[in-house]
Amino acid sequence: MESLILGSIRPRGLVNAVLNDLAIMPKADGTYGQPNGWLGGPGGGLLTEIQVLDYKARIESLASNAL
């Protein structure tokens, strides 16, 4: 999971599926969650709360640097 946090996992489909299952996929409105109609399973417990916060901070940092 640390590879996910650090962004070193590259296969996009796998990463998107994991993010969807964890309900931490960034959405267009700035929130995080599972996409509408996502049929994957719940991923609760795979990441610690600190890992989820680190992931969100990294995504937000990348988004702000892209502007």
Q: What is the per-residue pLDDT across 21-55, written as a single tens digit (0 to 9) for each?
A: 888 888 888 899 988 888 877 777 778 889 888 98
B/e letters for 22-50, b = 16+ CB within 10 Å, e = fewer, are bbbbbeeeeebebeeeeeeeebeeebeee
Predicted confidence at residue 67, as pLDDT, reads 64
Predicted confidence at residue 55, as pLDDT, reads 87
Q: What is the average pLDDT across 6-20? A: 73
Structural tokens at position 25: 């996929």
